[in-house]
Amino acid sequence: MTHPQAVLFDLDDTLAESFQPPTQEMIERLHRLLEKVPVAILSAAGLPRIQHDFLEHLADSPSIDRFFVFSNSASECFQYKDGVWQLQYHTAFTPEERTHIKATIETCAAEVGYRHPEYEPQMWDRESQIAYAMINSHAPQTIKKSWDPDQAKRKQIKACLDKVLTDCQVLIGGNVTIDITKKGVDKSHGVKWLSEKLGIEPGEMLYIGDALYPGGNDSVVIPTGIQTRETSGPEETMTIVDEILKSID
């Protein structure tokens, strides 16, 4: 493959299992990749989790200043410079918008049903993004992966949300999650911003994610023209990174 000038990753089910830290093998590959090209993570996760799971392992890289984090579905961006995370941009909902979104989620989830008998749903209000999981993050991976494998349950909730939240972007992600940001603020926004920041055309960058299917929260990057590789999970992602490293070397 022609090696990309920058590599962008989804997090859950791409760099790591959903809501789990990355393996040491993955960290080692990211460390090597960061020495070669700029690296970015675009995720529905918040900065604290990404900081905890990745920064302590990558902070000693001499190239850490070209490591970018687009957290909360790229509604905000941070770059690690001079020993601290520096905010590059932030697009937040107003308190009133957040209240309305959360109430709408509760209403739509109740209308659709599909409540797990043991594990309660979970909601995260991160100001710039509201995330809803049909099963909370403490549930075993096997249960989360088997609950909505064809996304049929979440597609019904999304259809309900789309009718009411017309000024929002509603995307399905991970195994049990729905992510909501301001309309036009999603991972494609992050791709375009990074392209301008680095002075690299989207077509010269590569995005790796597990949800590049229609309606998936990774698929929004496709219209930017960025190269894409779909992955089945962290094991395949490591294989793809190995290919990239080999092509660069």
Query: What domain count does the chain have?
Result: 2
Q: Which residues are within 8 A (CB) of 227 and not within 5 positions of it... i.e. 6 or more apart?
A: 4, 203, 204, 205, 206, 207
Residue 56's pLDDT is what?
82
Average pLDDT, the chain: 94
Which has the closest alpha carbon to 57: 74, 86, 80?
A: 80
Mean of pLDDT values over 61-81:
94
Same domain for 110 and 48: no
Asked if residue 1 belongs to a domain, the reply is no
Looking at residue 216, what DSSP letter applies?
A: B
Residue 82's pLDDT is what?
86
Same domain for 86 and 189: yes
pLDDT in tens, 195-223: 999 999 999 999 999 989 887 779 999 99
Instruction: Identify the domain boundary among 182, 203, 224.
Output: 182
Mean of pLDDT values over 140-157:
93
- The answer to whether the beta carbons of residues 191 and 221 sit under 8 Å apart is yes
Asked if residue 24 belongs to a domain, the reply is yes
Kindly indicate the confidence band of residue 146, based on its pLDDT and cuts at 50, 70 and 90: very high
Instruction: Identify the domain boundary among 182, 203, 219.
Output: 182
pLDDT in tens, 122-136: 999 999 999 999 999
Same domain for 118 and 171: yes
Mean of pLDDT values over 131-149:
92
- The answer to whether the beta carbons of residues 40 and 190 sit under 8 Å apart is yes
Share of the chain above pLDDT 70, in %: 100
CATH number at residue 195: 3.40.50.1000
Round to whole Å and give the CA distance between 206 and 227.
5
Residue 216's pLDDT is what?
78
Range list of β-strands (E), the chain: 6-9, 39-42, 67-71, 76-81, 84-90, 122-125, 130-133, 168-173, 177-182, 205-209, 227-230
Task: Name which residue leads in pLDDT, 12 or 8.
Answer: 8
End-to-end Cα separation, the chain, in angstroms: 12
Task: Name which residue leads in pLDDT, 244 or 84.
Answer: 244
Bridge partners (DSSP) of residue 27 are none
Same domain for 112 and 69: no
Q: Is the pLDDT of residue 1 over 60?
A: no
Instruction: Identify the domain boundary among 182, 198, 220.
Output: 182
CATH number at residue 172: 3.30.1240.20
Kindly indicate the confidence band of residue 76, based on its pLDDT and cuts at 50, 70 and 90: very high
Owning domain of residue 41: 6-91+185-248
Convert 56-112 into a string of H (helix), E (strand) and C (coil).
Answer: HHHCCCCCHHHEEEEECCCCEEEEEECCEEEEEEECCCCHHHHHHHHHHHHHHHHHH
- The answer to whether the beta carbons of residues 147 and 101 sit under 8 Å apart is no
Same domain for 21 and 130: no
